[in-house]
Every structure is written in C-alpha cells, then in structure tokens.
Chain A
C-alpha cells in the first residue's frame, strides 16, 4: 500500500518537474527530462503492479478521457475486463492536478511510457504487470527493491 502512495507521489512530483522545466529559463534540458521520465515510468509501473486494492484518491468527476492515455483498440474483447480495471486504476491515480499535468505534459517522451518503444499499438497497462522481461522497470517491482523506495523517493524532490 505504501508503495502505491510513494509511487503516486513520485509520479506527481516528476510530472511537476517536467512541467516546470518547460517554463524555466534556457529551455528544456534534455538530459534532466530524460532521467525524470525514466523515474516516472518506473513509478508508474510500481504503482500499477502493486497488488493492493486501489486507493481512491479524490479528484474532479468527469476527468476528460483525453487526459488518460488512449485506451486499447475496441478489437480486443479479451482485454475487456482488464480494461475496466485499468481505467479504474488510472482514475485513482489522476488527482486533479496530476490530470492537468498529464494533459499539459502531452506526448513528450511518451515512447518511454508506452510498453513497446518505437511503434506498436498502445497496450493495456494492466497487461504490463505480467512478467515482461524486456521491460527493465519490472525488476523494480521486486519486494527487496521496493523496501528501499522511501529513502530514495525524497531524491526527486529537490531535483
């Protein structure tokens, strides 16, 4: 449970940093944003793979669908159930400000947030929690690693 909270916190802070970097002097720093995106991806995977029941975090109702990553194609009847579950989890993750940040954030570095970089259709996020060895972030979901999250999570704050 605490992992979900921490991961959510890290995600919202990361998005905030990416947004802030767009308005700061000197333009977007590619290196910094790349690293923040990597953290964002890992945090998102930790959040979604946490087996605890989702924590409902209050947010404005009727969050526009555009704020969420596009759902899988309709031609995937098998993923129907997962789809619902996944959307629910995403809603939980989207508090008011996080939703705004995602819509502002747009598609920058979406390749890192997509399951398969370099093309390929968007796949349901729920499927990511399967054993996908190709995705390095999966290793972060091991218990021993997650125990270290708390001390490290403060790393992102003053980045």
Chain B
C-alpha cells in the first residue's frame, strides 16, 4: 500500500550522485526561531539539526546571510511500550522554539509520546591554569605545586552544547500531533488525536487536561484533533482543528475543561460538491494564527483558507492549491498534512504541494505562483522559475501535465523567516532555503 510503497521506493532508490535516501533522513518538521537566526529541522530518525544564519560579511558578498549547520543532536530514540506491545517511533513530529531569555536557546521537540526541552549553549572560552589539575585534568602531585595562579579564560573553537533539561513523558495515550508555547512563556500545550494537555515548562510530573473529545464508546468516534495552537498574544485563548474541517476557539478562563468551545469556525458544506471522499478532503491538517492574532490560516487537502476570528460562518479567503480540475487528477495521499506558513507581512501565503511544488498566494493581488524545490530544476543562487501544471489539452513547453505529477514527492513542511522573506522548504530529505532578492518575485 501507499506508505509501504513509499518506503520501498525510498530504501531501494540506489541512485548515483548521493541521491540515496534513507527513511531516517526524511525531514518531518521545520521551524525558525523568533529572530530567524536559527532554523531547526527534525527528521524521522529522531535527530534535530539546527542551522544558523551566517552574518553578512563584506568579504563574501555572495553569501548574504546563508544558513550553515550549527548543531546536530539525537533528540528521541525508538522506544517500546511493553504494556501495549507497541513500538514508539522516534520521528520528530514538531519543534517549537522558546522565546530567548538569556544567552542560551531553548526548544521543545516531540515525538508521538514524549516532549523534551533542550537547551543549546555556546562555549567559546576555556579556563586554563588550574592549580590542582594539569592540562589533561589529572590531579597534580601537590609537592610540585610551588605557587598559586589565577585560572584565565582563553578563547577556543566554538563548541555548541545541547543538553536535555526536561522530559515531559507519559502525558498522552494517542499520538502527539502538535505543541504550542503560550505567550506567557511559562506554559505550553501538547495535543494528540483526542486530548490536549497543558504543561508548565518547569514541571514534568504533572499536566492538566484541557480538551478531551474521546467518546465514552470508542466505536462512536467520528472526529479527531489534527492540530492546535495558542493565540500569539492572548494567553487564555487557543484554537484546535478537527478532521471534520472545523476549528474551535477555546477560552481557558471559561472552565478548567474546555470541551465547550467559545467559537466554532466551520464552513457549511456545499451539497453540490459532495463526493465520495468529502469527509477526507475536508480534514484540516494544520492551523496557524497570523502574527497579529486576528486571522487564522488552515490547510486542508485542496485549499488554504484564511479565517477572521470575528467571523465564524465561513473563511474570508480561500485559495485552491491542487491542480485546477480535481476530477482529472488522481491524488494518492489523502491524509497528507500540508503545513502552511504564515509570513511576516501577512500578505503572502505559502503552502506545499505534490511533485516537490510549493505554492505562494499574494493576498493583495490575488495572484499565485507555483515553484519547485528540486536539485534538477534550480542551481544555488539561481532565480526560481515558476512552474505550470496543465490540465488536459493545450500544453506549453515547460508545463507539467497533471498526470505526470509525482505524488510521492510532497512538500509537507515549510517555514517562513519571522522578519524577512526567507523560506525553508523540506522536500523528503532535502532542505531548501529560498531568499527574496528582488521584491517583484511574484508574477
């Protein structure tokens, strides 16, 4: 079946020029930190790789703030739940950066069951001249010590140290799909398929359940939680999306258990659009607040929608992501979770699609462009050429026909720099970083 086919394709794709892809290298999440200086990626093998933006230097004008590897560490290992005889995957589902409060950086990373808080520190000085220890650290023979010296700090090569500071375990029965740090910088929430828990960043042995949609009888299950996020400014508000396509805004001041929503955002289904797979394509794969907190961005199978928090009846904007005529298309992944990226200026929306394409929508001009993230189609520092997917009949030279779209190559994870027009696109095991050199790139 699908996933297995993908695995087999990936494991057996022995290609030249280092294109051999191991499953563990598949990037599963991408996240910029709050300044955009650091970019963290998580992969299926449980590793986190952090990239740092190089400061622009006059000596090398071409390397205008490019990203280089800063640190790599193993965040999660595969585990085994003996009670249920289940293996727990080490794949990193989400990474969220904490706001920086001192010289160190902190991030939360989670797999299906356990959330970990990692602290990233730099060390570029080393004390030398100890009285009791020699250079290798061995204790000196005291009889050889004739005078006292004050140890001095000498510069050394930069060393990045990463250490796990907290492990938030055993909070979830189902698979964790999202985490979100509160604007109060003290609490965060983690959501699995049926429940959402509230944690304090300093307390690991306790968490509070704030949403529980598990039915008394599991056979009555019709809906699961697909994503959730705290409001960027109001520490009492959060939203969660469901597989039925609805968004629920909850206020933690109203009750300890927020099963009753404060607002329900749902677009009524157009009966004429009803199809065999209606329920599946309406499932929301991700929800994000805009930076202002006034709007929400959601992604379902075929569209990206912008919702105004003040209007529950329907989205204010809808953008079609798939090829124009969905009838002639054969989608092969139904629960593909595309994660849209809210941009700093809130005027352009980006989301991933199939065939390593990603789409950008300009909300002001209503124009959109399809771009491709692949080694073959773009050289480093070259300007991306827009791609066109044609449906049926007329086909221009460089067009891709909808039937030749590769549905195993999907861009699920994208991230936008918080301040500049820099985007990070994860395509299978490759990370692409694009910068906007000229403002009029959208055409």
A and B from one complex: yes
Interface residue from B5, B194, B219, B329 paired with A111 (Cβ < 8 Å): B219
B12 in the interface, Cβ–Cβ < 8 Å? Answer: no
Contact bitstring B292-330, A, C-beta under 8 A = 1, else 0: 000000000000000000000000000000000001111
- List, in ascending order, chain A residues with CB within 8 A of B6's CB: 158
Say yes or no: A111 contacts B217, CB within 8 Å. yes
Minimum CB–CB distance from B171 to chain A (whole Å) comes to 16
1/0 per position for A107-145, CB-CB distance to B under 8 A? 101111010011000000000000000001001100001
A35 pairs with B220, CB closer than 8 A: no
Closest chain-A Cβ to B175's Cβ sits at a distance in Å of 6
Q: Which residues of A contact B193 (CB under 8 A)?
A: 30-31
User: B136: CB under 8 A from chain A?
Assistant: no
Which residues of chain B are near A145, meaning CB under 8 Å?
274-276
Q: A43: which B residues are within 8 A, CB to CB?
A: 276
Task: Please give the distance in Å from B28's CB to the nearest CB on chain A.
Answer: 12
- Cβ of B221 to closest chain A Cβ, rounded Å: 6
**Closest A-chain residue to B111, C-beta based?**
A26
User: A76 at interface (Cβ–Cβ under 8 A)?
Assistant: no
Q: Which residues of B contact A152 (CB under 8 A)?
A: 275-277, 330-331
Nearest Cβ distance between residue A24 and chain B, in whole angstroms? Answer: 7
Known: A25-B87, A111-B219. A30 touches B194 (CB 8 A): yes
The interface residues of chain B lying within 8 Å CB-to-CB of A35 are: 243, 279-280, 283, 334-335
Are A26 and B112 in contact, CB atoms less than 8 angstroms apart?
yes
Are A118 and B280 in contact, with the CB atoms below 8 A? no
- Tell me the complex Cα distance, A35–B307, Å: 25
- Report the Cα distance A136→B271, complex, angstroms: 11
Tally the A-B contacts, defined by beta carbons under 8 Å. 128
A27 touching B84, Cβ below 8 Å: yes
> Known: A31-B226, A38-B280. Contact between A148 and B220, CB under 8 A?
no
A18 to chain B, nearest CB (A): 10
Binary interface profile of B, 78-98, with partner A (CB < 8 Å = 1, else 0)?
000100101111010000000
A93 to B89 alpha-carbon distance, docked (Å):
36
Q: How far is the CA of A35 from the CA of B333 in the complex (A)?
A: 12
Q: Is B434 an interface residue (CB 8 A)?
A: no
Question: B219 near A109 (CB under 8 angstroms)?
Answer: yes
User: What 1/0 flags go to A19-55 for Cβ under 8 Å of B?
Assistant: 0100011110111101100110011001000000000
A139 touches B274 (CB 8 A): yes
Count, chain A residues at interface, CB 8 A: 42
Chain A contacts of B335 at CB under 8 A?
Answer: 31-32, 35, 159
Is the Cβ of A158 less than 8 Å from the Cβ of B407?
Answer: yes
Within 8 A of B (CB), among A77-105: none
* Interface size class, chain B: 35 or more
Residue of A nearest to B85 (CB): A27
Say whether A154 faces chain B, with CB atoms less than 8 Å apart: yes
Q: Is the CB of B224 within 8 A of A30?
A: yes
- Cβ-defined contact, A158 with B174, below 8 A: no
B330 touches A155 (CB 8 A): yes
The reply to whether B219 and A156 form a contact with Cβ atoms under 8 Å apart is no
Question: Across the interface, do B84 and A117 meet the contact criterion of CB distance under 8 Å?
Answer: no
Q: Are A42 and B276 in contact (CB under 8 A)?
A: yes
Residue of B nearest to A19 (CB): B1
Complex Cα distance, B3 from A155, in Å, reads 13
Evaluate whether A148 and B275 lie within 8 angstroms (CB atoms) in the complex, with A155-B332, A158-B333 already known.
Answer: yes
Instruction: Determine if A59 is an interface residue (Cβ-Cβ < 8 Å).
Output: no
Known: A26-B112, A31-B193. A159 touches B221 (CB 8 A): no
Q: Counting CB contacts under 8 A, is A4 at the interface?
A: no
For A39, A43, A148, A152, the residue with the greatest tally of chain B CB atoms inside 10 Å of its CB is: A152
Asked if B1 contacts A17 (CB within 8 A), the reply is yes
Interface membership of B2, Cβ < 8 A: yes
Question: Which of A46, A111, A146 is within 8 Å of B221, CB to CB?
Answer: A111
List, in ascending order, chain A residues with CB within 8 A of B4's CB: 20, 24
Cβ of A149 within 8 Å of any chain B Cβ, yes or no, is: yes
CA distance A36 to B86 in the complex (A): 21
Complex Cα distance, B194 from A150, in Å, reads: 33
B408 at the interface (CB under 8 A from A): yes
Q: Which residues of A contact B276 (CB under 8 A)?
A: 39, 42-43, 46, 140, 145-146, 148-149, 152
Complex Cα distance, B276 from A46, in Å, reads 9
Could you tell me the distance in whole angstroms from the C-beta of A159 to the nearest C-beta in chain B?
A: 4
Measured between alpha carbons, how far is A74 from B407 in the docked complex, in Å?
50
Bound form: Cα–Cα A42–B329 in Å = 20
Chain B residues, CB < 8 A from A16 = 1
A-B contact pairs, 9 of them (CB 8 A): A26-B91, A27-B175, A30-B193, A38-B279, A111-B219, A111-B220, A152-B275, A152-B277, A155-B331
Give 7 new A-B contacts, CB below 8 A, not counting A155-B334, A159-B1: A13-B1, A30-B221, A31-B177, A35-B334, A43-B276, A114-B219, A151-B327
Sorted nearest first, the 4 A-B pairs with minimum C-beta distance are A111-B219, A158-B2, A158-B332, A26-B89
